[in-house]
Structure 1
């Protein structure tokens, strides 16, 4: 019960009888009509004018209503609102207004609605974060809450999304990451597999030398090289001769299709009740791709199981990642579907994003001849024209590393990262982010924010030469997040750093590059989960090294 204290003082003479200086009216947590009825009953028993009693009743009822409204407002005062955002249609939300390139659209909308905004897309609540400070709150301050990814239907349809990329945060994911980091990303393993990286990079140089004066698709070249490096670490096999390019191109086509389907708009994402109808055919298409992948994965898994059964613990030499995954299946800790999902995630992460980054970096270098000259001067000083680039040279190539970082700033491989999903409601930037909201970090906007970067649209590698140590790839500075940050940061950063710099340094040291005559450099992109060039980079090489035998 609540008490409304009514000070009526001088009204005593007006009503013609004494009530004392104060009256108390006891009212419970009922509605206004209950309050008014009690007042009417109480006041009607008073002697005097009935009209005056009615007026007094109305006055007290109004006072009680005002108090009730204030109390209700006060009780809601502690609840945070949702972020601001553009309006949409009933039921459909903002879906009818979405562009094909939401990266640009989100960036423009954030200039109106602020660095954190919401969009209702069908029944799905989406929040877009576009500032370093808010990205820090999501990826570091509340890292455990946002450790899950919002998994697309296409990923669930491909090996149940049970690999390292899409698995929910928990024991299964931690076990996969632990195995991957320990068996593939440790310094010991990386050092042991240097011979394979060196062999594949030298094979790449031999392939290019055999095509001197002809047009070369640099993205395809980088993909095939990185594919062979990754598969040698995954299951110990690489491709040679004509098979190298043929299978590499098929793999690249499959990876491109999967990436496109991962990022393709799907009505099932926004209206989950329609998922079983697969209206956009996304699930159907990705299952077609999985048939080809299954043939490859089944072959290498069967081979490893047979090998492990025959050799047991006597197996010597480098034990690739698949060996350890197979052991986990024998112990019942993983299924074959889990193993295939893991292999797929590593292949995609180690090839598609690597080749895309190499292609964008080479595009910017060819676009800026002065920068190309500086890189090659550094390479001559560190390596010399009588030698091939080795991984021991890479830490000394400071300018090339700055160029690579600047290319990843302007052209981040994952412009919106992989969407996160909070496991519980959480406050970010003074707003409430409900549980299961789709949260996107607009890295593309952060990397081009004029409040963060001077002349953000210009390609200036020198910006990364000042305080060199802080601009690493490990997500410690939230102004620069090419690989993400927090628990779900890319687990393959150690090998990615080595592969990217090794491939780029070798291509730029061993060859000069020019565009085919009559062509212009196209810098347009096409948006998906991975930011690719709209038109592949094709260039013509000319040898630079002093001795032809270095290429053989």
Structure 2
């Protein structure tokens, strides 16, 4: 047998072995619905993918595979399997699937939310933890948050006196944005009810919606240059609008070299010492991450919480009574952040709201760094991972009457469940190394903002009964109410 013939035979054997290996891998993929040629399961996503994939998972199981165009996607829909992905195999699923919209203005190259795990990502996470979200930093800035909450209180009092409705989501957004901007820049961005507030809300919400919207350019990477739905272009426009504002602030800080020890001053000090360690691009993209993540999710969470409380007035009364009883017994004029642990029903309301209305229904998409076996199936390298926390929050195997708003469930059999990333039945902020670094601040803000909305007021809808409220969602990387909640505060 000559050399050429031997080479051909060996090459053929190698090719056959590769095909067999590939076939075995495909055969061990998690089960999933049959897909159409080329487009796969795209049409089965529908306008509310968190709903449609939750329904499919009841048929195919908590580890389910889909083909979205050319992208293999694995959907995780139970607490048990989420724990395997985010805890046991955390390192194997620690990177991100980079969406087309995220590449606008090269955001994926600098963003702490989208960078792969590595030295740059660790450096940015460390800065966030130490300079903004550590307990000492948060304790030191409590007065700042109290000031912004007082402005919210004043705004509600003015609306109450006039008998006019409050756009709850916008009021919460303005409060959260001013809190973030004061912490980051020692400045206040917007005023309640102002056009600037609405413009900022629209820009930030548009970025969030663009990232979360199903995008053909993600399913078929060959289409990225074409941008068939215009999602990349829209994201680029809105990110650019936000960068204009951030660049103005950075330039002013560089000129003034002020003594205010806000986050931008800390970042610029590092930048001046060693530009290679922290570039201007690193700073502006980090500030964008913090602004977007810290405002849109907070305002959406508050709007859903107030919606549920208005629909369940007896629970609103129960929460208000707890707040007032605590203040009366303690002799305090206001609730402090250290008091939150003493308000069990307040905590239960927040947990129940996170269960029913997680800010990010799929978390931020993860990516498999290698082949990983989960429940006897192979999740292949480079697969996109959706963790459907919306589905696990409504799992009837875990939660009794899962579609009802029942804060009391967290006072009884589920009182030990928290949302800090250790209890996988409730992980609205994720878990593992990629969980949201801003959780400590969000925890304080959501509780305190809810106290401000509920402590002194009852709420009345205009021209409708509470049970008639539209509960539809607009799907994105976060969930917002399709029809904004507008209600009149009534002093009680």
TM-score, normalised with respect to structure 2? 0.90
Q: Is the 8 A contact 2:57 2:63 kept in 1?
A: yes
Q: CA deviation at 1:159?
A: 4.0
Q: Is the 8 A contact 2:105 2:236 kept in 1?
A: yes
- Give 1:125's match in structure 2, choosing from 72, 78, 88: 72
Q: Is 1:436 equivalent to 2:382 in the alignment?
A: yes
Structure 2 vs 1, CA of residues 267 and 529 (structure 1 numbering), >3 Å: closer, same or farther? same
- Give 1:512's match in structure 2, choosing from 431, 452, 458: 458
Q: CA deviation at 1:245?
A: 3.0
Secondary structure in structure 1 of the residue aligned to 2:285? helix
**Alignment match, 2:266:** 324
**Alignment match, 1:226:** 176
Give me the whole-angstrom Cα distance separating, in 1, the residues matched to 2:52 and 2:43: 13
Q: CA deviation at 1:435?
A: 1.1
Q: Is 1:377 equivalent to 2:314 in the alignment?
A: no
Q: Is the 8 A contact 1:80 1:430 kept in 2?
A: no
Secondary structure in structure 1 of the residue aligned to 2:489? strand
More relative contact order, 1 or 2 (CA 8 Å, 6+ apart):
2
Q: Is 1:338 equivalent to 2:282 in the alignment?
A: yes
Q: Is the 8 A contact 2:71 2:219 kept in 1?
A: yes
Structure 2 vs 1, CA of residues 78 and 473 (structure 1 numbering), >3 Å: closer, same or farther? closer
1:121-162 deviation digits (Å, cap 9, x = unpaired): 111101101111111111000101111111211111144222
Q: Is 1:267 equivalent to 2:216 in the alignment?
A: yes
Gaps of 5+ in 2: 1-5, 10-15
Q: CA deviation at 1:180?
A: 0.4
**Alignment match, 1:156:** 103
Q: CA deviation at 1:325?
A: 2.0
Give me the whole-angstrom Cα distance separating, in 2, the residues matched to 1:377 and 1:140: 39
**Alignment match, 1:426:** 372
Secondary structure in structure 1 of the residue aligned to 2:80? helix
Give me the whole-angstrom Cα distance separating, in 2, the residues matched to 1:75 and 1:419: 25
> Aligned runs of 1:28-427 on 2, under 5 Å?
81-161=28-108, 162-212=110-160, 213-239=163-189, 245-308=194-257, 315=259, 319-330=261-272, 331-332=274-275, 333-384=277-328, 387-427=333-373
TM-score, normalised with respect to structure 1? 0.81
Gaps of 5+ in 1: 1-27, 32-68, 545-552
**Alignment match, 1:464:** 410
Give me the whole-angstrom Cα distance separating, in 1, the residues matched to 2:24 and 2:51: 35
Give me the whole-angstrom Cα distance separating, in 1, the residues matched to 2:338 and 2:422: 26
- Give 1:493's match in structure 2, choosing from 439, 459, 469: 439
Secondary structure in structure 2 of the residue aligned to 1:144? helix
**Alignment match, 2:481:** 533
RMSD: 2.4
Give me the whole-angstrom Cα distance separating, in 2, the residues matched to 1:266 and 1:343: 26
Give me the whole-angstrom Cα distance separating, in 2, the residues matched to 1:135 and 1:175: 27
Q: Is the 8 A contact 1:513 1:539 kept in 2?
A: yes
Q: CA deviation at 1:78?
A: 9.9
Q: CA deviation at 1:543?
A: 2.0
Give me the whole-angstrom Cα distance separating, in 2, the residues matched to 1:530 and 1:270: 20
Give me the whole-angstrom Cα distance separating, in 1, the residues matched to 2:336 and 2:282: 36
Aligned residues: 469
Structure 2 vs 1, CA of residues 377 and 426 (structure 1 numbering), >3 Å: closer, same or farther? same
Give me the whole-angstrom Cα distance separating, in 1, the residues matched to 2:429 and 2:332: 35
Give me the whole-angstrom Cα distance separating, in 2, the residues matched to 1:240 and 1:127: 41
Q: Is the 8 A contact 2:44 2:52 kept in 1?
A: no
